[in-house]
Amino acid sequence: MENVETLTTDIAEEISTQAGTFQLAWEKLQNALPFSKLLSAAILLIVCLLVMKVLLKAAGRILDHSRLEKSLHSFLRSTLKALLLFITLMIVAGALGINTSSLLAVLSVAGLAISLSIQNSLSNLAGGVMILTAKPFKVDDYIKAGGVEGTVREIGIIYTKLATIDNCIVHVPNSSITSSSIVNYSAEPSRRMDMEFSASYDCPIPDVKAALAEAVDLPQIDKTNPPQIYVKAYGESAITYLVRAWAATPEYWDVYYTIMEAVKASFDRHGIEMTYPHLNVHICQTESPVSFQTSSGPDGSCRFPSSPASE
């Protein structure tokens, strides 16, 4: 029985001691942070959160009615939310009496360290923002950028997805796209094709031009920009002709290959010879033909008799 009373007494003393410690800690907290400061900080936090919610909704409506790419909306919302949370943290910390300049310095150093560790990702991120804001191309455009050529399937914050002609998906880093030249083949409604063909010197130039004009007379050719046919160069064994024709951008390659096939058929109908590099050897017969028979001399060496002309 005495042991039980002793144990009860020890527990009561321990509880009393812990209560005293908690009361002392609470008094120190009240002295360091008066109730008025805590109340004002709580009110500021609630107000800041409400204002942040209103600003985010307003920003979302503005983005929905803007012409910016959808891929950029989530990034801008996240960036704005992070910025508002940082401002809220600084305001609440100032209301509690915390030195915000020291806090800002610590956060700056931490941000610098993080940015250095993800430098490549940040450069890709900056490139993605530049692409989405400047809009040098859009989805479904056929472009050549970053050493890759293909149709744009998706414009992301870090990578741009291209589909090549052989149906391969290539993820190109945005930094490599923005740091190089961008060729957008789909930017204009029509494109001009420049093709070169060769014909023999024996074929009259007007006949060759007529055959080429017949080959490019297709319904897909833009009639507002008539085809142009010129003599480009005089080669060693043929005359080079330049053909320029305009076609709608989506039909460019179909028209290109159709013309390539039509030119051969048109040349055959007009009797135009399509030459290739060759060498003509002309043998001329002289009055005193040279004998190429050999004879052996007294010393066993081979001798070539001279021609009568040389004598």
Domain count, the chain: 3
Task: Please state the rounded mean pLDDT for residues 56-61.
Answer: 81
- State the CATH number of the domain containing residue 48: 1.10.287.1260
Residues 39 and 67 in one domain: yes
The residue with tokens 């209301």 is: 95
Which of 184, 199, 222 finishes a domain? 184
8 Å CB contact between 188 and 156 = no
* Per-residue pLDDT tens digits for 223-276: 888 999 999 999 888 899 999 999 999 899 999 999 999 999 999 999 998 877
Q: What pLDDT, on a 0 to 100 scale, did the predictor assign at position 75? A: 67
Q: What pLDDT, on a 0 to 100 scale, did the predictor assign at position 10? A: 58
Cα(247)–Cα(237) distance, rounded to whole angstroms? 32
Closest CA to 197 of 274, 277, 279: 274
Cα(91)–Cα(87) distance, rounded to whole angstroms? 6
Cα(201)–Cα(22) distance, rounded to whole angstroms? 108
**Measured distance between the N- and C-terminal CA atoms of the chain, rounded to whole angstroms:** 155
Strand 302-303 and strand 142-145: pairing?
unpaired
Q: What pLDDT, on a 0 to 100 scale, did the predictor assign at position 282? A: 74
| Helix residue ranges per DSSP H, the chain | 2-32, 35-64, 70-95, 100-117, 119-134, 174-178, 205-215, 252-270
| Helix residue ranges per DSSP H, 135-168 | none
* Per-residue pLDDT tens digits for 263-297: 999 999 999 988 776 666 778 776 655 554 544 44
The residue with tokens 């509880």 is: 15
Identify the domain containing residue 202 by its residue range: 190-270
Residues 196 and 172 in one domain: no
Residues 170 and 213 in one domain: no
Tell me the range of 48-52, 148-152, 156-160 where mean pLDDT is highest: 148-152
Whether 34 has a pLDDT exceeding 70, the answer reads no
